[in-house]
Each structure stands twice: as C-alpha cells, then as structure tokens.
Structure 1
Amino acid sequence: MTAATSLIPGLDDIVRHGAPERRMEAVSRIADLFFEDAEALPPRHIDLFDGLLIDLVPHADTHARVDLAERLSRLKRAPRVLVGRLARENEIMVAGPLLRRSPVLDEDELVEIAHAKGQGHLLAMSERPSLPPRLTDVLVRRGDRDVVRRTASNDGARFSATGYSELVGRAGKDGVLTLAVGRRDDLPDAHLKTLLASAHGAIRRRLADIVKPERQAKIEQMMAELAGKGAPVAGKRNFVPAQRTVLALYQAGGLNESALLGFARRHQYEETVATLAAMSGIKIEALDRLVSGPRHDPVLIVGRTIGLEWTTVHALILMRLGPKRIPAPVDIDAARINYARLVPTTAERVVTFWKARH
C-alpha cells in the first residue's frame, strides 16, 4: 500500500483483492478526476494522483492503458512516475503516444528507453518535435532503416559529429536517407561532401534540386570537384580475398559452422558472407544484398536451411548490424522465437526462389 492509496478508504483493498471490474472502475474514476483540472493542479496534487494510479494501472486492460497514455501524452504537467512506467511498456500502443510527444519525459529517460527497447519504440521517439544529440546518437546507431530515415527527416532533430558520421555512412546504400540527410541545413560541409561522394549520379542531381537555393551552388561546386577526382562508387565490397580464405578452409576440411561462427564474432563481413554462400549455394552477390538489407529475416532463413544453431544465427545478426550497434533484448528475443518457429521446408522454398531469381 502506498501513502496515496491509504488516503482513500477501501482503495487498497480494491488494489489487492478487488475484481478486475472494480479496479477498472477505480482507474476510470480517478483518471477522470485528474483530467478535470489537470493543468491547474499544484505539484503535490499531481504527485498524489501519481501514487493513486501507479497501483491501479498495471491491472487495467490494454484498451484502458492506451486511452490513458494518449490523454497523458498531451499534458505539460502529468504524473511523472506513471508516465515513465507507461512509456517503458513493451506494448507499443501504450508507450507510443508518450514517446512521440510527452513533454514530461526528460532526456535521460528517453535515452535509457532508446537503449533498452525495440524498433517500434525507437520509431515513436523519432517523431518527437525535438530530439537532442544524445538521443539521436542512439536512434541512428540502433535504429533500423525506417527509424533512421524518420530521424534524419525530423527538422527538430539535432546531431552530434558522431551521429552525422553514422548517418552519412548508412546513407551510402540508401538513396532515400541520402536525400533526407543532404537537405538538412545543419549538415556540415565535410559530411555533405562525403555524402555526395557515396551517392549515385541520379541521387546527387535530385539532391541539388530539393535543397534551398543558397545550398545548390555549394553542392554543384562539390560535385564538380568530385567529378574531377573521379570519385569512387561507394558500397562495393571485394570478396575475392575472402573467397580464397573459404576455399582454403574447404580444402583443409575446416569449412563448417564453427568457422562461420568465428568469422561472425570477429565481424569479418566478407569472410562471413563468403562462408554462408559456400554453405548455402546462394550466389555471393545476392547473399550480400540480402544480409546487408534492413531486416534479419534472410539470416534466419539461410540459417534454418543449412541447420545452424541459434548461437551462430545470433552472432550473424550482431555481425550484420556492426560492432557499434547493439540490438534491444526484445528484438533479439523476437528473432529467436521466429527462428524456432521457422519450418525448414519453408526456408528451403525461399532459398530456392532466391537461387532461381539470381
């Protein structure tokens, strides 16, 4: 029993022993009472409602929690503990509204949640009207393609030098992200030039068309400089040395799951993909595109086809994200469950399709 529940006779009994209907009714009545005059309540009264609702809300159904989170997300003064708890829920329908706009969540809380939760939570945070550099650092490092694109397109986002370096690096294989990053007024010139160097000609021309007039001249100058230097096309990997390594392993009888696991744990991308290609029979160019894409699914499918243990598949997921990106435990759990449920015959049909297509 909290100090708050002790102020209302019978409420602690409802919290501890009440039927779900009584708890739901108590949540509804207390919440309605709070929202009647929420903006005018003094801090001590807000704290009182915080204590009352904290004990009851965990017992409310999803619909009630979603409704409560939606209403709380629009208040400048709301029960801080309750808002923080709802924002940390795994159910994104509950957490989402608060992560998108609640002014009650401070920077430390948002950064903590961004480190711990999955892509749905990160995507919701990327839509906030203001994103400080500490938060965008995490969103860009941990976010998937949709999260990173949305963050880069957010005019209220601010990026550190590290954040911009990560953004520009990821834009090398994503034309949509290249345009989103390139049109930002706060993008430093050095990063803009790197961005242009990694972009295809059509994307460069499109970027020159959509930026503000004062930026167009700078882009045209940089493009001319890059053209004069014969800028290399980004994103091309050299798999020849890796293929030699894999061939030597095969000839020595060492081309197996243990070798694959070692390459993945050392983040040796080319050797890992070359080994997977040799073990699965998928062309290395096709496998490179699949593994470096925005989703884990191809890794799960190939792994199930050749009978990999989850430990190896987990290492492959971490390898494809890179050493600087740490996935949330909920994302890894979801991948593990999907891998366990994946039927080998289904995976084999998908791989057969990939082989025929390429």
Structure 2
Amino acid sequence: MTAATSLIPGLDDMVRSGDPERLAEAARHIAALFLQDAAKLPPKHVDFFDGLLVDLVPHAELKERAELAERMSLLGNAPRVLVGQMARDNEILVAGPLLRRSPIIDEAALLEIARAKGQGHLLAMSERPSLSPDLTDVIIGRGDRDVVRRAAGNTGARFSERGYCELVRRAGSDGVLTLAVGQRADLSEAHLKQLLVASLDVVRRRLLDVVKPARQAAIRQAISELSDIAEHFESHRDFVPAQRMIISLHTAGHLNEAALIGFAKTFAYEESVVALAAMSGVAIGTLDRLMSGDRPDPILIVGKFIGLEWATVRALILLRLGQHRVPAAADIENARVNFARLMPSTAERVVNFWKSRRTV
C-alpha cells in the first residue's frame, strides 16, 4: 500500500501490525477522503480507493459500515468490489441499503445473493427500482410472505409466466398479496381470473375499491364470467340412479375413497360424479360441467380438497377422457406435479367458490 501512505501516514505499518482498531481508523479516514471528492474522481482513482477499502472496511464497527453502505448506495461510481463485498455482508444493516438501490451491483451478483442469503436480504432486494423476471423467480421461490408481498407491490418488478403462476397460487391463502397482485398493471386477464377464483368475496370487494377504473371493469367482467358459467349449464345425463346408489353406500358407511376409485376404474361416470359431490359438497351439475371441460384442473382441485391419493385422482382423469382415449404420459406427469404442488388452502377456496354458485 505504498501509494496510499501520502493519504494516511503510517498506513503500511498499520496493515503489517494487523491492529483492528488502527485498521478501523484507517478505514474511516480513507472512506471520508473518497466520499469527499467521489463525484470528481476518475475511474482509476476509484479503483485505487477500492483496493484500499476492500481490505480495511471489514475491520470497522457495524455502525460505521452501515453508514458507509448508506452513502455508497447512492453513488453511481462507488467502488465496485467494495460494494459487492458489503452487499454480501451477513449484517442486513450493511447489505440492505446496497441491495435496495445501488446501481453498481449487476444482475449476476444479485442472483447469486438472492440464492444464497436470507429473508432480510431478499426483502431489501425486492425494493429495488427494477427487478428482472429471472430475479423475481428466485425471490418468489425463496421468499417468505413479507418478501413476496413486497415484490408483488413493486411496480418496477417484472414477472415471468412461472412467477405469476406462483404469485397467484400464494395469493390463494393471502388476501394482502391478492390485493397487491390484483393492482399490477401487467396482470393478464387469465391470471386475473385465477386470482379471483381463489379469493374470498370480501377480498374481491376490497380489490374493486383500490384498483384503477380500467382494472375495475376487468374485475367485474371476470367475476361475471365466473358466476355465469354455472348458471348457463344444463346436463343431459341422468344422475338419479347413481344418486340412489350413493345414498345407499353413504347410509351403510361405505362411501369412501375405495368406492370412488372403484367407480372411476370401471368408467362409471355418473356414480363417480355423484360420489365426488357427496364427498366434497359441490353440486352434481357443477362437477359434471367441470369434469367435462378441456383440462383436468378441477379434478386436481376437488381431489386435493377431499384429500384423495394421486392414484384416485389419476383414475378420475382417465375416467374423464373415456375408455377409448389414452393420455400422453407427459400430460399425466404434468397433472401429477400440479396436484403435488397444489395447496389445500387454495383448493378449499376454489371449492367454496363452486359451492356458492347455484347450478341449473
């Protein structure tokens, strides 16, 4: 450090002695010198200070490092290596200011920190002026409730399709997150509908109160479509004989998952639907309509709500397709993964929504 001896007399001796107090004092003096003329310094001089401070700052007291981090976080030419070092500090008082706003930290460093550090670091990072989809994928995947809420409310954050699916899934059991996601300008109509299906009526009303007029119209339209689906459906199947059978089974105490999988494996559609209705409380007509749709999602939802095993859910998916259709192995595997990931609380909210609608 010979080049620095003109800045701090005796600096070489301080470093050689390794005295923590003297090193901390040197860090204070050199940091003050840098901050005094930071706006005027050319890059080579910034690099010079960087080489000094990166070895000295760790010896400073926590309060001093935190104050230095606050000031460095506002500089567009802060010492890059030092900023990276402090952003990785386990003390959130030091790392936090830099993770929130420093323009010096690049995407690769942010991703590394997001994957390795704790909730405090993720929370600070979720407040950055802009967040890439790759970064929000990590933040949402690892973050706790507060982190995910903060990221969802950040207008500078961008989310991938996977990220939005995870936001909507977690919003199913978090009304505050539902409000944050529902107010996002980049929320697609498809995700808006998914968000509303899994939300409580009181949350929907609150969302209507806080969003902009353009989004209010979209929410009302989505709620109307969700409500009208059941009201305009009429089944052409005769469920009366199946109802008599299921009532008898129930009376005898034999209406259980074993009976249901037996109906599904023999492709007894009416009996399976009525059994599901009895076990879930969802109207027969509603289940008939849902099982006749293009996707297996309703079966996954009602199966998770009842607490069915995957084998039973799989049998119901095959029943829905019919005896003469063989599903692709990839489709079945995708359904299995989605069923495993589906939260019981989300399934409960969706089923409660189905129950609230009267079916013709």
Say yes or no: TM over 0.5. Answer: yes
Decide whether the 8 Å contact of 2:25 with 2:60 is kept in 1: no
CA distance in 2, matches of 1:58, 1:84: 13
Decide whether the 8 Å contact of 1:95 with 1:121 is kept in 2: yes
Structure 1 unaligned regions, length at least 5: 246-265, 274-287, 290-358
Q: In the alignment, what sits opposite 1:135? A: 135
Counterpart of 1:6 (choices 2, 8, 16) is: 2
**SS of equivalent to 1:162:** helix
CA distance in 2, matches of 1:6, 1:239: 74
Q: In the alignment, what sits opposite 2:95? A: 95
Decide whether the 8 Å contact of 2:153 with 2:181 is kept in 1: yes
Deviation at 1:269, TM superposition (A): 9.8
1:111 aligns with 2:178: no
One-letter identity of the residue aligned with 1:6: T
One-letter identity of the residue aligned with 2:3: L
- What is the number of residues matched between the two proteins? 249
Deviation at 1:8, TM superposition (A): 2.4
1:224 aligns with 2:291: no
Q: In the alignment, what sits opposite 1:52? A: 52
* C-alpha spacing 1:224/1:130, structure 2 compared with 1 (3 Å): same
Deviation at 1:267, TM superposition (A): 9.7
Q: In the alignment, what sits opposite 2:213? A: 213
Deviation at 1:229, TM superposition (A): 2.5
* C-alpha spacing 1:131/1:152, structure 2 compared with 1 (3 Å): same
Deviation at 1:175, TM superposition (A): 0.7
Q: In the alignment, what sits opposite 2:192? A: 192
Q: In the alignment, what sits opposite 1:81? A: 81
**SS of equivalent to 1:37:** helix
One-letter identity of the residue aligned with 2:227: A
1:238 aligns with 2:234: no
Q: How does 1:1-358 map onto structure 2 within 5 Å?
A: 5-9=1-5, 10-230=10-230, 237-238=304-305, 240-241=307-308
CA distance in 2, matches of 1:126, 1:220: 30
Deviation at 1:123, TM superposition (A): 0.3
Give CA deviations for 1:134-159 in whole Å, capped at 9, x if unaligned. Answer: 21111111100000000001111111
CA distance in 1, matches of 2:101, 2:302: 36
Q: CA RMSD in A?
A: 2.8
CA distance in 1, matches of 2:147, 2:107: 18
Decide whether the 8 Å contact of 1:87 with 1:98 is kept in 2: yes
Deviation at 1:106, TM superposition (A): 1.3
CA distance in 1, matches of 2:90, 2:24: 21
Deviation at 1:20, TM superposition (A): 2.3
Q: Give structure 1 regions of 4+ aligned residues with deviation exceeding 3 angstroms.
A: 234-242, 266-270
One-letter identity of the residue aligned with 2:30: I
Decide whether the 8 Å contact of 1:153 with 1:181 is kept in 2: yes
Deviation at 1:212, TM superposition (A): 1.1
* C-alpha spacing 1:196/1:46, structure 2 compared with 1 (3 Å): same
* C-alpha spacing 1:214/1:199, structure 2 compared with 1 (3 Å): same
Structure with bigger gyration radius: 2
* C-alpha spacing 1:6/1:175, structure 2 compared with 1 (3 Å): same
CA distance in 1, matches of 2:60, 2:159: 39
Deviation at 1:57, TM superposition (A): 1.2
CA distance in 1, matches of 2:39, 2:66: 21
Give CA deviations for 1:95-133 in whole Å, capped at 9, x if unaligned. Answer: 011111111111111111101100000000111121121
* C-alpha spacing 1:238/1:104, structure 2 compared with 1 (3 Å): same
Decide whether the 8 Å contact of 1:15 with 1:55 is kept in 2: no
Structure 2 unaligned regions, length at least 5: 231-285, 287-297, 313-335, 346-360
Deviation at 1:6, TM superposition (A): 3.2
Deviation at 1:240, TM superposition (A): 4.3
Q: In the alignment, what sits opposite 1:338? A: none
One-letter identity of the residue aligned with 1:117: K
CA distance in 2, matches of 1:80, 1:33: 17
One-letter identity of the residue aligned with 1:15: V
Decide whether the 8 Å contact of 1:152 with 1:180 is kept in 2: yes
Deviation at 1:21, TM superposition (A): 2.2
Deviation at 1:237, TM superposition (A): 3.8
Give CA deviations for 1:66-107 in whole Å, capped at 9, x if unaligned. Answer: 111111111111000000000001111110111111111111
Give CA deviations for 1:38-72 in whole Å, capped at 9, x if unaligned. Answer: 01110000000000101111222212211111111
Decide whether the 8 Å contact of 1:173 with 1:235 is kept in 2: no
* C-alpha spacing 1:152/1:240, structure 2 compared with 1 (3 Å): closer
CA distance in 1, matches of 2:75, 2:91: 21
* C-alpha spacing 1:269/1:197, structure 2 compared with 1 (3 Å): closer
